[in-house]
């Protein structure tokens, strides 16, 4: 028996070398603890046996499987009957057709995700032999493993894996680039786009595309092998937003779909504006998302106010924060309009229309609660009606400037402390004089009563009370019954 085939005898002859190799493929030696290799670098483990049994003698990192040991690999290792294992897990991107090629003396096996793809497991002396296979690797992360055993003599092993880049075989599109970042320079008015390295092993180039935010047509800016590019286009006014995307092309001329579209707004914008009114302080507090673009400089807060007889946007101040509290605002039940503009570090400010824009995200239309009571009380007159007292509230204020919507009349007995509401009623809007009246049923017992009236508005605000009017309900006078006069 040749010495290079003694592995079965060493194990007692109960298992063939092929069977032993199958067992080892199913249960590979665990990686040694504490050794971490860089991305796409092999972890290499040495064993003092050809069965990869027990703890490894050494674990280190190796950039390539390419060794030629004429004796022991290092002090502490035997010159014959040792094993070396290389293992690496990497991202193959979209995957596709690959070629695995190995050249080695003695035993060598190559695995993809623990599935054996190359099996050369016989003694060869000092002469290496080679084998290659073509296969398709699925997309994503996969583990490659190379097991090499040296039974005697020189230990030579070399393994490579490479994509097949001919269009005849490779029809798999690369993955779309990721990690797109943009930086806008307000001095040069140009955009620099960068992206993460593509996972493909057969990448040929990247192509950068752009389009205006108002267009659906992409224009190629450049093709490059770098992972960043400065668009030579000069933004005309610091305001035109552009979308950018990056596409990858492999060596077989397959092109990926576009990356996630990234919008570049030379001038940052306020995407939403909200606000609340505090009745206690009578102040409006505005809030909006904080801009984080590198070209952001500050905000300007404006209010739409009456100036010289017409409404105009009046600056309230500037801030770098995302909130603003106004001075006290009159609670008049009217609408208030606010706007927030952004200025970039080049001094350009967001365009703002002269008037109101109901669809603008950076404008807020805020209804202020009405906290102003009607100015005066109505006139109150009293009279007699069937079964009681007629009370009438009137106000002659012209309809266009009325600040009330109705009247309330209260009554109490002259000697009492508590008032009762006998009328709460809106006035008839078509009347020239606003009027509301009620016939208040009272017993005809000669008692005195007091009445008062006030106005109210739609927000529930009440005017002061008017003067108190007093009335006495008369006691009916008995009607004398005529006495018959006797005739005669």
Q: pLDDT for 99-135, tens place per residue?
A: 999 999 999 999 999 999 999 999 998 999 999 999 9
Q: What is the pLDDT of residue 479?
A: 67
Q: pLDDT for 171-229, tens place per residue?
A: 999 999 999 999 999 999 999 999 999 999 999 999 999 999 999 999 999 999 999 99
Model confidence at 483, pLDDT cuts 50, 70, 90, reads confident
Is 90 exceeded by the pLDDT of residue 248?
A: yes
- Identify the CA nearest to 342 among candidates 300, 279, 388, 313: 300
Q: Across all residues in the chain, what is the average pLDDT?
A: 91
Is 60 exceeded by the pLDDT of residue 19?
A: no
Q: Which of the two residues, 41 and 400, has the higher pLDDT score?
A: 41
List beta partners, residue 436.
Answer: 393
Cα(83)–Cα(148) distance, integer angstroms: 6
Cβ–Cβ < 8 Å for 2, 30: no
Q: What is the 3-state secondary structure (H, E, C) of the chain?
A: CCHHHCHHHHCCCCCCHHHHHHHHHHCCCCCCCCCCCCCCCEEEEEECCCCCCCCCCEEEEECCEEEEECCCCCCCCCCCCEEEEEEEEEECCCCEEEEEEEEECCEEEEEECCEEEEEEECCCCCCCEEEEEEEEECCCEEEEEEEEEECCCCEEEEEEEEECCCCCCCCCCCCCCCCCEEEEECCCCEEEEECCCCCCCCEEEEEEEEEECCCCCCEEEEEECCCEEECCCCCCCCCCCEEEEEEEEECCCCECCCCCCEEECCCCCCCCCEEEEECCCCEEEEECCCCCCCCEEEEEEEEEEEECCEEEEEEEEEECCCEEECCCCCCECCEEEEEEEEEECCCCECCCCCCCCCCCCCEEEEECCECCCCCCCCEEEEEEECCEEEEEEEECCCHHHCCCCEEEEEEEECCCCCCEEEEEEECCCCCCCEEEEEEEECCCCCCEEEEEEEEECCCCCECCCCCCEEEECCCCCCCCCCCCCCCC
Q: What is the pLDDT of residue 471?
A: 94
What the chain holds in terms of domains, given with CATH numbers, is 3-163 (2.60.120.260), 181-264 (2.60.40.10), 274-367 (2.60.40.10), 379-472 (2.60.40.10)
Cα(410)–Cα(468) distance, integer angstroms: 10
Window from 22-31, 40-49, 331-340 with minimum mean pLDDT: 22-31
Cα(61)–Cα(88) distance, integer angstroms: 10
Q: Which of the two residues, 78 and 32, has the higher pLDDT score?
A: 78
Model confidence at 366, pLDDT cuts 50, 70, 90, reads very high
Q: pLDDT for 321-348, tens place per residue?
A: 999 999 999 998 889 999 999 999 999 9
Q: What is the pLDDT of residue 3?
A: 34
Model confidence at 456, pLDDT cuts 50, 70, 90, reads very high
């Amino acid at each position: 028996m040749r010495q290079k085939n003694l592995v079965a005898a060493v194990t007692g002859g109960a298992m063939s070398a092929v069977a032993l190799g199958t067992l080892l493929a199913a249960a590979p030696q665990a990686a040694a603890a504490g050794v971490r290799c860089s991305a796409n670098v092999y972890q290499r483990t040495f064993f003092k046996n050809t069965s990869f049994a027990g703890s490894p003698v050494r674990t280190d990192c190796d950039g390539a499987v390419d060794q030629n040991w004429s004796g022991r690999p290092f002090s502490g290792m035997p010159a014959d009957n040792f094993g070396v294992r290389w293992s690496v897990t990497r991202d193959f991107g979209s995957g596709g057709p690959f070629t695995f090629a190995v050249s080695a003396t003695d035993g060598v096996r190559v695995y993809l995700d623990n599935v054996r793809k190359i099996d050369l497991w016989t003694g060869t002396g000092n002469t290496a032999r080679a084998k290659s296979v073509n296969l398709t690797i699925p997309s994503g992360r996969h583990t490659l493993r190379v097991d090499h055993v040296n039974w005697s003599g020189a230990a030579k092993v070399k393994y490579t894996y490479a994509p097949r880049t001919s269009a005849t075989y490779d029809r798999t599109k690369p993955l779309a680039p990721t990690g797109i970042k943009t930086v806008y320079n307000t001095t040069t008015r140009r955009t620099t786009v960068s992206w993460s390295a593509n996972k493909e092993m057969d990448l040929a180039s990247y192509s950068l595309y752009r389009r205006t935010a108002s267009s659906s047509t992409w224009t190629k800016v450049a093709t490059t092998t770098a992972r960043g590019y400065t668009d030579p286009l000069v933004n005309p006014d610091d305001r035109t937003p552009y979308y950018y995307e990056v596409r990858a092309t492999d060596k077989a001329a397959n092109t990926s779909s576009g990356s996630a579209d990234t919008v570049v707004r030379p001038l940052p914008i306020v995407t939403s504006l909200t606000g609340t009114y505090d009745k206690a302080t009578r102040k409006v507090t505005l809030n909006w998302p904080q801009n984080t673009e590198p070209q952001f400089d500050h905000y300007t807060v404006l209010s739409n106010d009456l100036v010289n007889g017409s409404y105009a946007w009046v600056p309230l101040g500037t801030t770098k924060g995302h909130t603003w509290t106004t001075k006290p605002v009159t609670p008049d039940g009217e609408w208030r309009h606010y706007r927030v503009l952004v200025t970039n570090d080049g001094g350009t400010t967001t365009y703002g229309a002269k008037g109101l824009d109901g669809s603008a995200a950076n404008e807020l239309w805020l209804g202020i609660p009405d906290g102003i009571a009607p100015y005066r009380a109505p006139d109150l007159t009293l009279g007699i009606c069937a079964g009681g007292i007629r009370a009438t509230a009137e106000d002659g204020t012209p309809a266009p400037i009325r600040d009330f919507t109705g009247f309330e009349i209260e009554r109490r007995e002259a000697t009492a402390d508590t008032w009762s509401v006998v009328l709460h009623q809106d006035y008839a809007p078509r009347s020239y004089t606003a009027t509301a009246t009620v016939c208040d049923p009272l017993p005809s017992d000669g008692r005195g009563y007091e009445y008062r009236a006030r106005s109210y508005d739609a927000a529930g605000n009440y005017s002061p009370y008017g003067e108190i009017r007093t009335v006495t309900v008369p006691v009916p006078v008995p009607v004398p019954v005529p006495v018959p006069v006797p005739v005669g």
